[in-house]
């Protein structure tokens, strides 16, 4: 190898490190936007705003009503569905605008995420800043985003289709919508974390520790699914009080009422996750004391304690106005905990080697 060729190697590596840093920032920004969408989506569900827009218009729908006639037109469409007729027959136009803006903001943010994905992706691609090994992962993210948009509309359609008797969206479609958001959020963080700069590490955790991390992530996905059912069925109000549910350790209506059953198992899985997160921290403190992965597990303990505190506060507040804000915080922190678990687990593997 010539002296000139040898001298060029650090420059190529340094430039690729810079490119990776830009891509990593982009992916973390997208993940943050997904978290924001989850926040607005949670508020949309908790305020029963999700059916305020009864049509799916990906382009034209980005423009809200601009005058009184257009507002009246949107309101008349809403008046045709069961949610208005059963739950809000006395709703005024002013009250309708309040729920409309939540759903419109949710859809607008989803559109904006698509733009924030597409424009930088094309820029990175055509300027040679994307390593070829990243292409399949980014295409997967794009495909999941498209699937999520379809799932979102199918969810709304369940409450507006002709002949439906639902006064809110189907809870299982809501759960699928949330799980897809969870997948996109997790995969964005996984890919971004894999692009971190390489650092000297004495040893990475073995397979048992990694498997434990995988189990925790899978459990949290299941818990998010249950949480979506709780929201879809308004089951958070079916079991007030803590540690009992309506004064009972095991509800008498368990397996008889869906709301009670879902709420009960949502609590049980929460206890299991909390216990396992603490067990993991103790295990890593003993097996890999002073390591990055051990410190990461301690942060997860703090997050799970916060998450449980919000969950307990939500059920104690029951159906008061305070419970809506607490439930929203509970959902957002659940995603933060999921992100923490994903980053923690990805940190157990070395970063992706730099390629051309």
CA distance 230 to 115: 32
Ordered DSSP codes for 119-149: HHHHHHHHTT-S-GGGHHHHHHHHHHHHHHH
Instruction: Give me the pLDDT at residue 201, please.
Output: 64
CA distance 11 to 221: 42
83 and 54 within one domain: yes
Instruction: Give me the pLDDT at residue 78, please.
Output: 95
Instruction: Give me the pLDDT at residue 16, please.
Output: 79
189 and 209 within one domain: no
Q: Determine the structural domain holding residue 229 and report its residue range.
A: 202-356
124 and 62 within one domain: yes
User: Could you report the per-residue pLDDT of 338-354, keeping only the tens digit for each?
Assistant: 999 999 999 898 888 77
List of long-range contacts for 132-136, beta carbons under 8 Å, 24+ apart: 132/355, 132/356, 133/352, 133/355, 134/23, 134/191
Output the six-digit token pair for 276.
């396992």
153 and 228 within one domain: no
Instruction: Give me the pLDDT at residue 14, please.
Output: 46
229 and 166 within one domain: no
CA distance 39 to 46: 11
For residue 156, count other CB atoms closer than 10 A to its CB: 24
User: Could you report the per-residue pLDDT of 251-267, keeping only the tens digit for each?
Assistant: 888 888 998 999 999 99
Out of 175, 197, 219, pick the residue that ends a domain: 197
187 and 233 within one domain: no
| Total number of domains constituting the chain | 2
Find how far residue 157's CA is from the centre of its chain. 21
User: Could you report the per-residue pLDDT of 180-235, keeping only the tens digit for each?
Assistant: 999 999 999 999 999 988 776 667 778 899 999 999 999 999 999 999 999 888 88
Instruction: Give me the pLDDT at residue 11, please.
Output: 41
Instruction: Give me the pLDDT at residue 7, please.
Output: 38
212, 280, 284, 291 from 205: Cα distances, Å: 11, 12, 9, 10
> Which positions ≥6 away from 144 have C-beta within 8 Å?
180, 183, 184, 187
Instruction: Give me the pLDDT at residue 8, please.
Output: 39
287 and 258 within one domain: yes
263 and 157 within one domain: no
Q: Read off the pLDDT band of 322 (50, 70, 90).
A: low
User: Could you report the per-residue pLDDT of 268-318, keeping only the tens digit for each?
Assistant: 999 999 999 999 999 999 988 888 899 999 999 999 999 999 999 988 887
Instruction: Give me the pLDDT at residue 320, please.
Output: 61
pTM equals 0.91
Beta bridge partners of 248: 245
Instruction: Give me the pLDDT at residue 6, please.
Output: 37
What does the angle CA 273 – CA 274 – CA 277 come to, to the nearest 5 degrees?
Answer: 85
């Amino acid at each position: 190898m010539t002296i000139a060729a040898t001298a060029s190697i650090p420059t190529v590596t340094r430039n690729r490190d810079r490119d990776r840093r830009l891509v990593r920032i982009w992916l973390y920004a997208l993940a943050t936007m997904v978290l924001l969408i989850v926040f607005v989506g949670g508020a949309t569900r908790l305020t029963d705003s999700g059916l305020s827009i009864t049509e799916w218009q990906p382009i034209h729908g980005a423009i809200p009503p601009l005058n009184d006639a257009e507002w009246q037109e949107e309101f008349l469409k809403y008046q045709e569905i069961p949610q208005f007729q059963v739950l809000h027959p006395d709703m005024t136009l002013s009250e309708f605008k309040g729920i409309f803006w939540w759903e419109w903001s949710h859809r607008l943010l989803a559109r904006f995420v698509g733009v924030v994905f597409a424009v930088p992706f094309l820029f990175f691609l055509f300027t040679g800043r994307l390593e070829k090994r990243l292409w399949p992962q980014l295409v997967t993210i794009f495909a999941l985003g498209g699937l999520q948009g379809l799932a979102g509309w199918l969810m709304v359609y369940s409450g507006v289709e002709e002949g439906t008797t639902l006064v809110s969206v189907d809870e299982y479609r809501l759960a699928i919508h949330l799980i897809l958001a969870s997948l996109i959020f997790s995969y964005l963080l996984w890919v971004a974390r894999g692009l971190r700069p390489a650092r000297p590490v004495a040893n990475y955790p073995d397979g048992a520790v990694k498997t434990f991390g995988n189990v925790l992530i899978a459990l949290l996905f299941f818990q998010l699914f249950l949480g979506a059912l709780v929201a879809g069925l308004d089951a958070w109000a079916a079991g007030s009080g803590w540690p009992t549910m309506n004064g009972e350790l095991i509800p008498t209506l368990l397996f008889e009422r869906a709301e009670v059953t879902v709420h009960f198992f949502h609590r049980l899985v929460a206890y299991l996750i909390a216990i396992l997160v603490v067990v993991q921290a103790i295990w890593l403190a003993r097996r890999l004391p002073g390591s990055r992965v051990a410190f990461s597990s301690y942060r997860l303990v703090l997050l799970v304690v916060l998450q449980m505190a919000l969950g307990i506060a939500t059920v104690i507040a029951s159906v008061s106005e305070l419970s809506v804000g607490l439930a929203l915080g509970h959902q957002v922190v659940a995603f933060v905990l999921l992100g923490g678990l994903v980053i923690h687990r990805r940190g157990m593997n070395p970063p992706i080697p730099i390629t051309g």
